[in-house]
């Protein structure tokens, strides 16, 4: 699902249909076995809220969910549970663990066993933070282990499951009334989809590079899998219109000679000398690369997410397509 979401040949209707097929294949056979939840409806009791994710470490999702956990942890009426589905236990993991009363490592648990654990923990609201991304546990969600199930943050689209009751978003990401038909979930609109926690050691915003260079420098820090031939063709229209401009491309694979991307640019009459490739690096160096860029160019149909937030934090606007 994640891969076809990046394929410009797959339109919205086909993409939604594919997600629904996922639900039909994996959820429909289990629907008759969904439990009758006995969670108390006493309004004054403490609610058990669970977060399920394969990204509770130094990952983009942590940049969005940590401010939420800090806020929710202050409420005595909530008891937070985290179901961590990744073996990495780094400094970010340890920090997140400090905000959650009940931390459950679930790597290696079968989908059925995880669903049973969630039921045994008496979870009232279960929140998926992965969607159709690596190390998701949607095959536990299809067993409906909690009476209210929600998808949020980790995936910019539907899960395709009827067991997922809600999808959290905002009016900017999903303008009301325009995308309801592309979700099996009911859309719930927050004032803002999620807060963003920038790196504490982010460099200061610098002066516009064009002021000293005398030309514009465009940039992209999206993963290479998002950069298609069609993306290069559109970017190249700008580069041809501004023949002195350059382009910085970061987050490249370290073992890549960039031959494919260079060839695509050449087909669009953009010389190799105008392109600066940079391999993936640590956060500090990655953010510092924004000092070389005047305007970031977005990818499509799978737009930038965290990379766009990083660019904005570094004072660099992103030119994108509404879709």
Query: What CATH class has 4-189?
Result: alpha beta
Q: Where in the chain is the domain with CATH 3.40.50.11380?
A: 4-189
pLDDT, position 6:
86
pLDDT, position 7:
86
Residue 205 per-residue DSSP state: P
| Preceding peptide of 301 cis, ω within 30° | yes
CA nearest 310: which of 95, 99, 6, 64?
A: 64
Alpha-carbon distance of 256 to 288, in angstroms, equals 22
Q: What is the largest CA-CA distance in the chain?
A: 68
Residue pair 86/52 in contact (Cβ under 8 Å)? The answer is: no
- For the entire predicted model, the pTM comes to 0.92
Q: What is the CATH number of domain 209-319?
A: 3.40.50.2000
Q: Where in the chain is the domain with CATH 3.40.50.2000?
A: 209-319
- For 65, 138, 227, 251, 291, the CA distances from 203, given in Å and listed in that order, are 23, 38, 27, 18, 9
- For 166, 177, 307, 320, the CA distances from 293, given in Å and listed in that order, are 38, 36, 13, 16
Q: How far apart are the first and last CA of the chain?
A: 18
Alpha-carbon distance of 313 to 291, in angstroms, equals 12
From first to last of the 323 residues of the chain, give the pLDDT tens digit: 888 988 888 999 999 999 999 999 999 999 999 999 999 999 999 999 999 999 999 999 999 999 999 999 999 999 999 999 999 999 999 999 999 999 999 999 999 999 999 999 999 999 999 999 999 999 999 999 999 999 999 999 999 999 999 999 999 999 999 999 999 999 999 999 999 999 888 999 999 999 999 999 999 999 999 999 999 999 999 999 999 999 999 999 877 779 999 999 999 999 999 999 999 999 999 999 999 999 999 999 999 999 999 999 999 999 998 86
- For 172, 201, 205, the CA distances from 18, given in Å and listed in that order, are 25, 41, 42
- Compute the C-alpha angle 22/118/86, nearest 5°: 70
Alpha-carbon distance of 102 to 173, in angstroms, equals 31
pLDDT, position 2:
85
pLDDT, position 323:
64
């Amino acid at each position: 699902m994640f891969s076809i979401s990046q394929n410009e040949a797959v339109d919205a209707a086909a993409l939604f249909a594919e997600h629904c097929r996922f639900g039909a294949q994996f959820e429909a056979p289990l629907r008759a076995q969904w439990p009758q939840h006995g969670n108390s409806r006493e309004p004054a009791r403490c609610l058990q809220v669970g977060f399920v994710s394969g990204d509770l470490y130094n990952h983009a999702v942590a940049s969005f969910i940590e401010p939420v956990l800090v806020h929710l942890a202050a409420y005595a009426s909530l008891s937070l549970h985290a179901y961590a589905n990744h073996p990495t236990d780094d400094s970010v993991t340890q920090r997140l663990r400090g905000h959650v009363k009940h931390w459950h490592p679930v790597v290696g648990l079968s989908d059925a066993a995880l669903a049973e654990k969630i039921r045994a923990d008496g979870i009232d609201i279960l929140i998926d933070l992965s969607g159709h991304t690596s190390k998701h546990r949607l095959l536990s969600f299809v067993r409906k282990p909690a009476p209210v199930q929600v998808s949020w943050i980790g995936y910019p689209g539907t899960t395709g499951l009827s067991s997922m009751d809600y999808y959290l978003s905002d009016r900017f990401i999903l303008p009301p009334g325009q995308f309801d038909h592309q979700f099996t979930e009911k859309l719930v609109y927050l004032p803002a989809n999620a807060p963003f926690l920038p790196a504490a050691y982010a460099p200061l915003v610098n002066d516009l590079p064009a002021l000293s260079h005398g030309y514009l420098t465009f940039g992209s820090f999206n993963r290479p899998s998002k950069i298609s031939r069609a993306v290069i063709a559109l970017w190249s229209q700008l580069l041809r219109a501004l023949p002195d401009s350059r382009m910085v491309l970061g987050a490249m694979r370290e073992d890549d000679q960039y031959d494919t991307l260079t060839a695509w640019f050449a087909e669009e009459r953009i010389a190799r000398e105008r392109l600066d490739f940079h391999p993936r690096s640590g956060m500090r160096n990655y953010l510092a690369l924004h000092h070389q860029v005047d305007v970031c160019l977005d990818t499509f149909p799978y737009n930038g997410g965290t990379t766009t937030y990083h660019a904005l934090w570094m004072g660099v606007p992103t030119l994108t397509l509404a879709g």
